[in-house]
Amino acid sequence: MHTNSTIELSLSALKKNLSFLKRTFGREVRISSVVKGNAYGHGIREFVRMASRCGIDHFSVFDSNEARKVREVAGKNTEIMIMGFVENESLAWAVANDVSFFVFEKDRLQKAVRVAKKLGKKACIHVEVETGMNRTGFDLREIPGVIRYIQKEKDHLQLKGLCTHYAGAESVANYYRVTEQIKVFKKVHSLFIKEGLRPEIRHTACSAAAMVYPETRMDMVRIGIMQYGLWPSPETFVSLLNRRKAKTDPLRRVIAWKSKVMSIKKIRAGDFIGYGTHFMAKQKMKIAVVPIGYSHGYSRSLSNQGRVLIHGHRCVVVGSVGMNMMIVDVSVITDLKKGDEVVMIGAQEQDDMTVASFSDYSDQLNYELLARLSRDIPRKIVD
Ligand SMILES: *Cc1c(COP(=O)(O)O)cnc(C)c1O
């Protein structure tokens, strides 16, 4: 186990985020908690436990491997939905364990039926519609065939849902494309209804769509980034502020990432610090070594740019981020000791290091930085 750093997960922050989301979407809209990518780096098992304690009983994952992890820790009545990849070998496991999955190809539909027949149990499916993202989903012209097939095999299939995914609801630049997608989705839904096949639920929205396009909420929303207390984009946050009287952020970041000073050194003016010539000291400096590097998820693109909090000061990363270590400028801190706290993400004294401020320096999205956090870092649930 890695002992160089710790990830803390705040239960009260999660509670606050979920209650804001519930209040915004209303009682009729169910929330599916999206926990793909190791729960956006938070740690899938720990996060599912926390969310379950907050009343979440529906989780969305990308693949069967993640679904198994959720199954291990979630309660019996919790629903699990695979939005992406299920290898043929895991289809039977999914059907046997009441795990539902997206179908977006005829082949997947036929395999689901074959497995269901073999197990004598219906496969729970969500028909994914291609509405304009051009990634996965049935095209409009395939829909009549899909409807006929599901009707023919209704003893082996349970049509849990009809769904789609929007191609960039977090940016107003995609407004036209997203509104066209909504139209296509509604058209496909009415085709199903006309043929007498009613999906149990319709779900299309991720965080951004659910906030910016209320009509996409339908019966259920699939919420990832916002439950973790982060916005899909600055634009999404601004669009909320424009509609609200209170100009404060209703979300609280769930994650904090902390380490400790490993060693301290004094440097003479003119010396290079770290590998090669990435950083030369212009004057006398004091530096601290932090046992965190890109193998733990602190991106190398933060070399000479990243900031961490030590004694409440923002200290700059100097030189290149190594595999296991990085060096920060602590010249302003007079009473620094080995073992003092270093905050990569989170609050310290009066200051706060957000995931966004960390990514602004490197053009990486919140999503990517979080997902890169190493699985080996211990996760601790706090308050
Ligand atoms: C990741 C994902 C979501 C959640 O997106 P957020 O922007 O994190 O809310 C929803 N639906 C699908 C299909 C996804 O892959």
224-251 pLDDT, tens per residue?
Answer: 999 999 999 888 999 899 988 888 999 9
pLDDT at 369: 87
> Which of 24, 59, 83, 102 for mutating ligand 1's site (highest number of atoms within 8 Å of CB)?
83
- Quote the tokens at residue 292: 């965190």
CA 327 to chain centre: 29
CA distance 289 to 299: 16
Residue 220 near ligand 1, beta carbon < 6 Å: no
Please indicate whether residue 275 is annotated as part of the active site: yes
pLDDT of 46 above 90: yes
The 10s digit of each residue's pLDDT in 286-317 is 999 999 999 999 999 899 999 999 999 999 99
Residue the block writes with tokens 């595999």: 323
| pTM for this entry | 0.95
The 10s digit of each residue's pLDDT in 153-205 is 999 999 999 999 999 998 989 999 999 999 999 999 999 999 999 999 999 99
The 10s digit of each residue's pLDDT in 124-158 is 999 999 999 999 999 999 999 999 999 999 999 99
pLDDT at 3: 87
Residue 224 near ligand 1, beta carbon < 6 Å: yes
The residue-averaged pLDDT of 360-371 equals 78
Annotated binding site: 135, 323
Non-local CB neighbours of 249 within 8 Å, separated by 6+ positions: 237
Backbone angles phi, psi at 199, to 5 degrees: -65, 140
CA distance 294 to 309: 18
pLDDT at 252: 95
User: Which regions of the chain does DSSP assign to beta strands (E)?
Assistant: 5-10, 30-34, 58-63, 79-85, 99-103, 123-128, 157-163, 201-205, 220-223, 255-260, 263-267, 285-290, 307-310, 313-318, 326-329, 341-348, 351-353, 379-382
pLDDT at 244: 87
pLDDT at 112: 97
Annotated binding site for substrate: 135, 323
User: What average pLDDT does the chain have?
Assistant: 95
pLDDT of 358 above 90: no
pLDDT at 362: 65
Please indicate whether residue 380 is annotated as part of the active site: no
pLDDT of 217 above 90: yes
- In the chain, the domains with their CATH numbers are 11-241 (3.20.20.10), 255-353 (2.40.37.10)
- Quote the tokens at residue 203: 């779900």
CA distance 352 to 295: 24
**Annotated catalytic residue within 15, 36, 69, 258:** 36
If you measure from the C-alpha of residue 259 to the centroid of ligand 1, how many angstroms do you get, rounded to a whole number?
30
The 10s digit of each residue's pLDDT in 53-94 is 999 999 999 999 999 999 999 989 999 999 999 999 999 999
The 10s digit of each residue's pLDDT in 86-108 is 999 999 999 999 999 999 999 99
If you measure from the C-alpha of residue 165 to the centroid of ligand 1, how many angstroms do you get, rounded to a whole number?
8
pLDDT at 342: 98
**Annotated catalytic residue within 175, 187, 275, 338:** 275
